């Protein structure tokens, strides 16, 4: 409970894409945990069932009070101490290096980093401020905004540099010098007189990293985010086999109006979103009312089929770009065209979420949220 959801889900999602057999284990009594920004995630198993297993890697996400609850798990402590003693890989991110590893004595004789809020708790002569610090078997990192780098470091250590490069190309996390972070055309002010309401419809096969990054970052700006399942159950299983619990059914969610509707990608999930009559109706009403809407990665196909990309300019993942008939700006992570915002892929969703905050509240709020998650964001 209280684990930082971006860190947990990005770790599991990236490692599974690399081919690792990943177990998400709950240290709570139940498998369903509410994370630090309100997302509900269902673990694969209880920590007790992992006690006698041998792992190539034990990785601890941060978040508060999640880090404290990990620290207080005797079983997790025994697993991690044994991991270190037997010289196998272990790691921690954000608050966890200071809050979990230090009380367990697993930071000794290691260079170590953590979230800036906790860096003062680390031994001065061992603390470093790098985004990712590898020190023998221990790898540490700084926050949600460095989670992709943290996860890819483990891919490189376990599978080699070529595997890490291949996964990174799929994720599109690297900001190419020739790419724009954000491009805006047909500028329109997103002015509303209340706290923004955002709907994120989800389905089995939706890309869980995209879902969780959007929810986590938007809620940090106090945006009211509703995750709505188009399935019969509120529980969905994402493209990387992670279980997420929606806030509402799409039927229940359809009783409200939303300032912005965002569709996540994930090939199988996109197909299931497209089959939802209620979602089609909501998207049609959104367009007619002139309210905001957007999509990431393969979800642009749904927007096109609903006629929401007519006369619009977008950015798109290379895998779906040739299926779109609208104008595409290829060399930009996100494109904002009036009341439409689009994102290229998984690795550009942090920019997508911060771009959304900027449009609703201004650059200052977006920069503040970026600083909090330790994500490099333009000063102006």
pLDDT the model gives residue 290: 95
What number of residues does the chain have? Answer: 380
Catalytic residue among 4, 5, 37, 94: 94
CB atoms within 10 A of CB 119: 17
The whole-angstrom separation of Cα 75 and Cα 50 is: 9
pLDDT the model gives residue 122: 86
In sequence order, the 6+-apart residues with CB closer than 8 A to the CB of 133 are: 111, 112, 113, 139, 140, 141
Q: Tens digit of pLDDT per residue, the chain (380 long)? A: 999 999 999 999 999 999 999 999 999 999 999 999 999 999 999 999 999 999 999 999 999 999 999 999 999 999 999 999 999 999 999 999 999 999 999 988 899 999 999 999 988 778 899 999 999 999 999 999 999 999 999 999 999 999 999 999 999 887 556 678 899 999 999 989 999 999 999 999 999 999 999 999 999 999 999 999 999 999 999 999 999 999 999 999 999 999 999 999 999 999 999 999 999 999 999 999 999 999 999 999 999 999 999 999 999 999 999 999 999 998 899 999 999 999 999 999 999 999 999 999 999 999 999 999 999 998 87
* 180-373 fold: Rossmann fold (3.40.50)
Cis status of the peptide bond prior to 65, with omega within 30 of 0 = yes
Q: Which of 91, 100, 88, 107 is nearest to 2 (CA)?
A: 100
The whole-angstrom separation of Cα 204 and Cα 353 is: 22
Does the annotation mark 115 as catalytic? yes
pLDDT the model gives residue 90: 98
Query: Which two tokens mark 117?
Result: 């809020």
pLDDT the model gives residue 123: 82
pLDDT the model gives residue 124: 77
Query: Which two tokens mark 376?
Result: 């490099």
Q: Sketch the domain layout of the chain as residue ranges.
A: 5-171, 180-373
Question: Are 326 and 314 contacting, i.e. CB atoms less than 8 angstroms apart?
Answer: yes
pLDDT the model gives residue 162: 97
pLDDT the model gives residue 287: 94
Q: Domain 5-171 is in which class?
A: alpha beta
Does the annotation mark 297 as catalytic? no
The whole-angstrom separation of Cα 58 and Cα 303 is: 40
pTM for this prediction = 0.97
Catalytic residue among 4, 5, 114, 115: 115
């Amino acid at each position: 409970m209280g684990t930082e959801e971006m860190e947990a889900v990005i770790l599991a999602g990236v490692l599974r894409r690399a081919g690792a057999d990943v177990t998400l284990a709950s240290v709570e009594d139940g498998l369903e945990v509410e994370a630090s920004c309100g997302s509900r995630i269902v673990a694969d198993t209880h920590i007790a069932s992992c006690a006698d297993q041998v792992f190539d890697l034990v990785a601890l996400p941060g978040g508060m009070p999640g880090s404290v609850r990990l620290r207080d798990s005797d079983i997790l402590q025994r697993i991690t101490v044994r991991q270190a003693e037997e010289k196998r890989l272990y790691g921690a991110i954000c608050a966890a290096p200071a809050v979990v590893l230090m009380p367990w004595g697993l930071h000794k004789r290691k260079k170590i980093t953590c979230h800036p809020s906790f860096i003062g708790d680390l031994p001065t002569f061992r603390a470093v401020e790098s985004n990712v610090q590898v020190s023998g078997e221990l790898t540490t990192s700084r926050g949600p905004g460095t989670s992709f780098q943290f996860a890819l470091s483990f891919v490189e250590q376990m599978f080699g540099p070529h595997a890490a490069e291949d996964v990174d190309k799929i994720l599109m996390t690297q900001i190419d010098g020739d790419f724009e972070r954000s491009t805006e055309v047909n500028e329109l002010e997103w002015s509303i007189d209340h706290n923004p309401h955002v709907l994120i419809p989800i389905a089995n096969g939706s890309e869980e990293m995209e879902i969780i990054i959007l929810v986590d970052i938007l809620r940090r700006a106090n945006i009211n985010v509703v995750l709505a399942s188009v399935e019969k159950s509120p529980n969905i299983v994402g493209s990387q086999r992670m279980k997420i619990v929606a806030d509402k059914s799409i039927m229940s969610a359809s009783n409200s109006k939303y300032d912005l509707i965002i569709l996540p990608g994930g090939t199988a999930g996109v197909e299931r979103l497209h089959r939802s009559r209620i979602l089609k109706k909501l998207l049609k009403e959104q367009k007619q009312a002139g309210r905001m809407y957007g999509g990431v990665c393969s979800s642009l196909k749904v927007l096109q089929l609903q006629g929401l990309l007519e006369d619009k300019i977008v950015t798109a993942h290379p895998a779906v770009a040739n299926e779109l008939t609208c104008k595409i700006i290829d060399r930009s992570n996100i494109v904002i065209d009036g009341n439409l915002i689009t994102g290229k892929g998984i690795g550009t969703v942090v920019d997508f979420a911060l771009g959304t905050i900027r449009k609703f509240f201004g650059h200052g709020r977006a920069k503040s949220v970026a600083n909090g998650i330790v994500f490099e964001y333009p000063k102006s």
